């Protein structure tokens, strides 16, 4: 049996937010991430698509949001990614606890997960987020943002992983192994950690079986999809072929201008994406000024006036407004 062409670690995680300004104030103003692209949902251009990342907008550091504030809150349950984990350097959680408490962020009790110190929190619209302190988080590629309100050595270094709840583990585990080159790394309580490569920060997913829970549903505070890295078009098509052979029905390649995407639902129902590392967010903006203006892909430029007329204005992020 031929080994699958492995996908990489997480490329980005996209979630559903409430009002865009509140989202911006929290992720840029409180968490100190850089807004690297202010654009629109290409399938629903009347809403923003906000991209936060390190200073360069590096793949693997990118957390993005659709601010669909008209939606009801998400319904917890199986078939959803339920939490995004963000990497911080070792010995950073004391700083983050003090900072988040100062701005009234809803914090959970500190934990240890698979040997790492973890601080759970909720964003203003209910998204479950954890800050994860791990040795590999301190050494991963990362470019600090000079204008961040957070000191460079304490800044969020990228995506550490995500958690998924499933009605049954086995179909998803078989799929990850057969189609994406992932492998089981460890077990802890009801959670099973899967990963790729070295299984380091940014290269892992945690799965739990939840057969008694209802089917989850998207809403504000939900993760919309998990995107996995592929190097280029050739790598993307090779992984796509493995996904299709394993049973899911992936979309054709979709050009998102800053990267190219393939979408499919894994056997448990979670929406996955394969996203190319390039061309990147500097394709249409000066790297020194990423995220400062509304940027549209070329095929939406003719609609700019109509799009701008329905989008709410966004002010520069401030942590104080998030309180």
Per-residue pLDDT, averaged over 128-139, amounts to: 91
pLDDT at 277 over 60: yes
pLDDT of the residue at 137: 86
* Domains of the chain: total: 1
> 2: pLDDT confidence band, cut at 50, 70 and 90?
low
Q: Is residue 299 pLDDT above 60, yes or no?
A: yes
Residue 109 makes CB contacts below 8 A (sequence gap 6+) with 120
Q: Is residue 120 part of a domain?
A: yes
CATH number at residue 115: 3.10.180.10
Q: Which domain holds residue 58?
A: 10-322
Q: What is the pLDDT of residue 140?
A: 87
Residue 276 near residue 292 (C-beta atoms within 8 A)? no
Rounded mean pLDDT of 50-67? 98
Is the model's pLDDT at 56 over the cut of 70? Answer: yes
- Rounded average pLDDT over 274-283: 97
Domain contains 211: yes
Q: Is the pLDDT of residue 1 over 80?
A: no
* Average of per-residue pLDDT across 225-253: 97
Q: Which residues contact 170 (CB under 8 A, 6 or more apart)?
A: none
Cβ 67 vs Cβ 210: under 8 Å: no
pLDDT > 70 in the chain, percent:
99
Which pLDDT score is estimated for 138? Answer: 80
* pTM, entire model: 0.97
The burial class, CB within 10 Å (0-12 / 13-18 / 19+), for 75 is: middle
Q: Determine the number of helices (DSSP H) and then strands (DSSP E) in the chain.
A: 5, 17
pLDDT confidence band for 261 (50 / 70 / 90): very high
- Give the C-alpha distances (Å, rounded to integers) separating 301 from 48, 84, 258: 15, 32, 15
* Inside any domain, residue 1: no
For residue 292, CA distances in Å to 25, 38, 47, 282 come to 14, 7, 17, 12
5: in domain: no
Q: Does 4 fall in a domain?
A: no
Contacts of 138 by beta carbon, 8 Å cutoff, 6+ apart: 89, 90, 157
| pLDDT at 312 (0 to 100) | 96
Give the model confidence (pLDDT) of 182-228 as tens digits: 999 999 999 999 999 999 999 999 999 999 999 999 999 999 999 99
- How crowded is the C-beta side of 115, counted as CA atoms within 13 Å? 9
Of 164, 83, 166, nearest to 118 by C-alpha is 83
Residue 181 pLDDT more than 90? yes
Decide if 91 is inside a domain: yes
Where are the strands (E) in the chain, listed by range?
A: 10-17, 34-41, 44-53, 62-67, 80-88, 106-107, 111-113, 116-122, 128-133, 158-166, 183-188, 191-195, 204-209, 223-230, 254-255, 260-265, 271-276
Q: Is residue 3 part of a domain?
A: no
């Amino acid at each position: 049996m031929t080994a699958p062409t492995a996908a990489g670690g997480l490329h980005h995680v996209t979630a559903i937010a409430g009002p865009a300004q509140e989202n911006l104030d929290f992720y840029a103003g409180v968490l100190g991430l850089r807004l690297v692209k202010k654009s629109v949902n290409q399938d629903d251009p009347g809403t923003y698509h906000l991209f936060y990342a390190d200073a360069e907008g590096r793949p693997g550091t990118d957390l993005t949001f659709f601010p669909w504030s008209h939606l009801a809150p998400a319904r917890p349950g199986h078939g959803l990614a339920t939490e995004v984990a963000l990497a911080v350097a070792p010995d950073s959680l004391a700083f983050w606890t003090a900072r988040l408490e100062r701005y009234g962020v809803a914090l959970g009790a500190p934990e240890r997960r698979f040997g790492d110190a973890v601080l759970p929190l909720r964003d203003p619209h209910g998204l479950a987020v954890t800050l994860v302190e791990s040795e590999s988080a301190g050494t991963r590629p990362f470019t600090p943002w000079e204008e961040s309100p957070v000191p460079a050595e304490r800044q969020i270094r990228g995506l550490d992983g995500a958690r998924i709840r499933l009605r049954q583990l086995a179909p998803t585990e078989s799929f990850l192994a057969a189609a994406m080159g992932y492998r089981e790394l460890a077990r802890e309580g009801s959670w099973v950690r899967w990963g790729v490569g070295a299984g380091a920060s940014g290269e892992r997913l945690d799965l739990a079986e939840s057969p008694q829970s209802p089917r989850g549903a998207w809403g504000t505070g939900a993760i919309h999809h998990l995107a996995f890295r592929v190097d280029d078009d050739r790598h993307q098509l090779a992984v796509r072929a493995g996904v299709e052979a394993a049973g899911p029905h992936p979309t054709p390649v979709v050009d998102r201008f800053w990267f190219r995407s393939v979408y499919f639902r894994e056997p448990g129902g979670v929406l996955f994406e394969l996203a190319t590392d390039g061309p990147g967010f500097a394709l249409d903006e000066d790297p020194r000024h990423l995220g400062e203006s509304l940027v549209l892909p070329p095929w939406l430029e003719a609609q700019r006036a109509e799009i701008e007329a329905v989008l709410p204005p966004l002010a520069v992020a401030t942590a104080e407004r998030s309180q």
